[in-house]
Amino acid sequence: MNKIFIKMTSSSVASVLVAFFTGLTMTSAVSQETEVKEEIAPEVAAAWAGLAADKGESNMSIGGVLFPSLHAFAAYGHSSAEQSSLAVNDHDPQRDWTIQGIEPSLSLRAGMLQGFVNGTGITDADGDFSFGLEEGFLKLIDLPLGLELRGGQYLNRFGFQNSIHNHGWFNVDQNLVNGRFLNEGELMTQGGELSWNVPLQSMQASILSASFGRAEVHEHGHHGEEHGEEHGEEHGEEHGEEAEFEAEGANFSDDLFTIAWLNQYDIDDMNRFQGVLSAAWGDNGYGRNTEVYGAGLEYLWRENGYAAGGKTLRWRNEIMYRNVDAISGHLPGEEEHHDDHDDHDDHDDHDDHDDHDDHDDHDDHDDHGDHGDHGDEHHDEDEAHRDSFGEVGLYSSVTYGFNDQLEAGLRAGWVSGISEAGLDERFRLSPSLTWYNESRTVQARVQYNWDHSDDFGNEHSIWFQLGLNFGGAEVR
């Protein structure tokens, strides 16, 4: 995600938030009832691919074509470990108090032309605030043969969750498998996407989407660096050796092709199944290839059927497999960066040497420099080698809605790990309870996490999350 780093104190951030939300609450905030009705309508699967459900109405607009919205989420809690070391996504809690996202956005609806742009602001493990562009795209809808075309920077349609912003998650944090397999849970492309509303009579909705472009590489802040360093140190201490491969090299970093096919089948107005098949192929940080394949199945029961309200039960399951072609040693470009840094650090020391030392060093370089350089190159070629490894991950979550305002959830997630890259096998169990006000403009969630890994043992976390939502359904 492209970010503009802005350092602010806690008091200044709080002051900005109070002023901002006070001004917004004085406007005519849009009720989320439209979004809820779209969710339970037969074309709900179309909302995942940005088709029919994008046509929701909002009573807050600019000229009837631009529809602003704002989401703001923050979390407060405590963990038995360093919070950032357990996070798998930039929106996950990074410290006791975290701004998970201040997200202003604007949707365009002008006939066949639609669009969306949003920025997001977060705080990292040091409490520093950063803000930058997340998505920005235009799309053409209602094309012949049920086609739609989208271009720009967007979250890829992969599985149930990747294309959903954090304010739409059922949990405080990202799923383990999404965070590890899909570029820290935000697989994003700068390119183009074609979606087809497949005319299957047996399905209430069937959408096939294919995307190609350049994977947007996250500019890692303190969270990414600290997590990788701490994890690598722990892994090395416990197993007596450092990881042979850089874990970040497995992420997509250049050309990326994704395809996803979602189908929705309604047994009746109360019982529904959704299934999704996804795949991604692309260049990785090693300069080789990464492949990810996923399959998901969800069952949804609603007491009132297509009408709003009543009790609900949602059971979502997804499994992914990742194959990574890797090469040991520093990632391309990383070694050069470290060498430049070392040269800069050593510069002052060389300035202190007298002419005699410089002369001796020069002579030694003449005698041995060429031989040493070739020796190092030969050594690197001998040490670095190519390999391929696979990893499996999955999650299962159950959410029960007592009514429109209270939901209880339980999520279990697991990733198998890759020992050669210092990626541990990890399991996490997360019960949660969520409350919404009647219009769903305010929500509060409490969640407990039990994390287990052979590397770090058992860790416990408790989080309280507060979210504010203004505006109608966004163009996706």
User: What confidence tens digit (pLDDT) does each residue in 452-462 have?
Assistant: 998 889 999 99
In a domain, 57, yes or no: yes
- Residue 383 has what pLDDT? 62
Cβ count near 233 (within 10 Å): 12
**Portion of the chain with pLDDT greater than 90, in percent:** 61
Q: Which amino acid is at 95?
A: R
- Residue 420 has what pLDDT? 85
Q: What is the 3-state secondary structure (H, E, C) of 229-250?
A: HHHHHHHHHHHCCCCCCCHHHH
Listed range (197-206, 264-273, 317-326, 328-337) with the worst mean pLDDT: 328-337
Query: Which residue would you say has higher pLDDT here, 335 or 145?
Result: 145
- Residue 191 has what pLDDT? 97
User: If phi over 0 gives left and psi between -120 and 50 gives alpha, with beta otherwise, what is residue 141?
Assistant: beta
- Residue 219 has what pLDDT? 57
Confidence check: pLDDT of 361 > 80: no
Q: Which amino acid is at 20?
A: F
The strand pair at 66-79 and 426-436 is best described as: unpaired
Q: Average of pLDDT values for 112-131?
A: 95
- Residue 455 has what pLDDT? 86
The predicted-structure confidence for 252-292, as pLDDT tens digits, reads as follows 999 999 999 999 999 999 999 999 999 999 999 999 999 99
How far is residue 312 CA from its own chain's centroid?
27
Confidence check: pLDDT of 225 > 60: no
pLDDT band at 59 (very low <50, low <70, confident <90, very high): low
In a domain, 163, yes or no: yes
User: If phi over 0 gives left and psi between -120 and 50 gives alpha, with beta otherwise, what is residue 391?
Assistant: beta
Sheet strands (E) in 36-187: 66-79, 97-110, 113-123, 129-143, 147-155
Q: Which amino acid is at 445?
A: R
In a domain, 175, yes or no: yes
**Portion of the chain with pLDDT greater than 70, in percent:** 72
pLDDT band at 6 (very low <50, low <70, confident <90, very high): very low
Q: Average of pLDDT values for 143-171?
A: 95
Confidence check: pLDDT of 245 > 90: no
The predicted-structure confidence for 143-153, as pLDDT tens digits, reads as follows 999 999 999 99
Residue 425 φ/ψ, nearest 5 degrees: -70, 135
In a domain, 42, yes or no: yes
Confidence check: pLDDT of 330 > 80: no
In a domain, 321, yes or no: yes
Place of tokens 């020992």: 419
CA distances from 228 to 43, 150, 165, 330, 463 (A): 41, 34, 24, 14, 23
HSE-CB for 132 with a 13 A CA cutoff? 15
Q: Which amino acid is at 408?
A: A
**Alpha-helical runs (H) found in 41-184:** 44-48, 83-86, 176-181
pLDDT band at 335 (very low <50, low <70, confident <90, very high): low
Q: Which residues of 71-89 are buried (b: 16+ CB within 10 A; e: fewer)?
A: bbbbbebebeeebbbbbbb
Q: Average of pLDDT values for 222-226?
A: 41
In a domain, 116, yes or no: yes
Q: Which amino acid is at 193?
A: E
Query: Which residue would you say has higher pLDDT here, 229 or 316?
Result: 316
Q: Average of pLDDT values for 184-212?
A: 95
Q: Domain containing 424: what range?
A: 4-328+386-470
In a domain, 476, yes or no: no
Most confident of 34-48, 178-192, 381-395: 178-192
235 and 422 Cβ atoms separated by less than 8 Å? yes
Domain count, the chain: 1
Helix (H) or strand (E) holding 318: strand 312-327
**Cα–Cα nearest to 91, from 192, 167, 11, 191:** 167
In a domain, 404, yes or no: yes
The CATH number that applies at residue 188 is 2.40.160.10
